[in-house]
C-alpha cells in the first residue's frame, strides 16, 4: 500500500508525521514499512542514519533517500514491497515528477493548519490531487495547533475539506514532536498520535487492504 504524505505548503509537519506514522504502523500494527524520502532536505534519511549509528536497537523499517525523478524508475519495485510504502514529499506542486507519485498513491495524508494561508494552499493541493487521482482517499490532519488560540475558520475549513476527504483528529503543538526518532513514539504524545493514526488506520488502511484482498 502506497501512502503519500504531502501538501504544497511547507512547514506543516509532513516529515514528522511520516516518521510517526511509520513508527505507529511498525510498533502498534506490526506492519512492515518502507519510507521513501523524496524531500530535497532528506531530513528523514538523515535522522534514520543517525539513529542507526548511535543506538543499538535494529531499525523498525528501511528508509531510502531518492530524487523525485528517480521515482518513475523505482515504482515497479514497490509492488514487491510487503507492507506499507510511506512517501515523504517536498512542499511544492509545480513539478511534473510529482504526477506519477500521486497517481500511484493508495492514500494521501495531508497535514495542515487552521490559518487562511495554510487552508488556501491545502484546498488547491486537494483539488490537484483529485484531478490526478480521482479515487484516492485523502486524510487531512489538523497539525501543530496551539493551545489557547481560537481558530475562527475551523468549522468552515472542515466543511470544505470534507468534500475531498476525511478530517482526522487534531494534533497539538507540543515540544515532544521536535524530539522524535525512528525507533519510538515519545510517551508525552503517544496517546495523541495513536488517536489520530487509529482513525486513519481504521477508516482508510484497513478498508483499502480489505478492498485489495477482495480484488
Report which of residues 214 and 63 the model is more confident about. Answer: 63
- All structural domains of the chain: 2-214 (3.40.50.300)
List CB contacts of 77: < 8 A, sequence separation 6 or more: none
**What is the rounded CA–CA span in Å between residue 174 and residue 147?**
9
Summarised one tens digit per residue, pLDDT across range 116-141 is 999 999 999 999 999 999 999 999 99
List CB contacts of 168: < 8 A, sequence separation 6 or more: 139, 140, 141, 142, 196, 199, 200
| Residue in 111, 214, 210 with CA at minimum distance from that of residue 165 | 111
pLDDT band at 75 (very low <50, low <70, confident <90, very high): confident
**What is the rounded CA–CA span in Å between residue 122 and residue 120?**
5
Average of per-residue pLDDT values in the chain:
92
The predicted pLDDT at position 77 comes to: 78
pLDDT band at 5 (very low <50, low <70, confident <90, very high): very high
Please check the confidence at residue 213 and state whether its pLDDT lies above 60. no
**What is the rounded CA–CA span in Å between residue 136 and residue 110?**
12
**Arithmetic mean of pLDDT, 102-129:** 96
Please check the confidence at residue 214 and state whether its pLDDT lies above 80. no
The predicted pLDDT at position 210 comes to: 44
Axis crossing angle, helix 43-54 with helix 14-28, rounded to the nearest 10: 50
Summarised one tens digit per residue, pLDDT across range 136-181 is 999 999 999 998 888 999 999 999 999 999 999 999 999 999 999 9
Summarised one tens digit per residue, pLDDT across range 17-72 is 999 999 999 999 999 999 999 999 999 999 999 999 988 888 999 999 999 999 98
98 is written with which cell numbers? 510529482
- Least confident piece of the model among 80-89, 106-115, 117-126: 80-89
Beta strand 166-167 pairing with 138-142: parallel
Count of residues in the chain: 215
Report which of residues 162 and 75 the model is more confident about. Answer: 162
Amino acid at each position: 500500500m502506497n501512502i503519500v504524505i504531502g501538501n504544497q505548503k511547507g512547514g506543516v509537519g509532513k516529515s514528522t508525521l511520516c516518521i510517526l506514522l511509520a513508527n505507529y504502523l511498525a510498533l502498534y500494527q506490526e506492519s512492515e514499512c518502507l519510507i521513501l524520502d523524496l524531500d530535497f532536505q532528506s531530513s528523514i534519511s538523515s535522522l534514520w542514519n543517525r539513529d542507526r549509528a548511535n543506538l543499538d536497537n535494529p531499525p523498525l523499517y528501511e528508509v531510502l533517500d531518492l530524487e523525485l525523478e528517480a521515482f518513475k524508475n523505482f515504482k515497479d519495485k514497490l509492488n514487491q514491497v510487503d507492507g506499507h510504502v510511506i512517501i515523504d514529499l517536498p512542499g511544492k506542486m509545480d513539478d511534473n515528477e510529482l504526477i506519477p507519485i500521486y497517481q500511484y498513491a493508495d492514500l494521501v495524508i495531508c497535514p495542515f493548519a487552521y490559518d487562511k494561508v495554510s487552508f488556501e494552499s491545502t484546498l488547491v493541493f486537494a483539488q490537484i490531487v483529485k484531478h490526478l487521482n480521482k479515487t484516492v482517499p485523502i486524510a487531512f490532519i489538523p497539525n501543530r495547533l496551539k493551545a489557547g488560540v481560537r481558530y475562527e475558520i475551523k468549522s468552515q475549513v472542515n466543511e470544505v475539506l470534507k468534500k475531498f476527504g476525511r478530517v482526522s483528529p487534531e494534533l497539538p503543538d507540543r515540544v515532544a514532536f521536535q524530539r522524535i526518532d525512528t525507533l519510538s513514539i515519545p510517551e508525552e504524545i503517544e496517546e495523541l498520535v495513536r488517536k489520530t493514526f487509529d482513525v486513519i488506520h481504521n477508516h482508510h488502511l484497513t478498508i483499502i487492504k480489505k478492498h485489495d484482498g477482495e480484488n
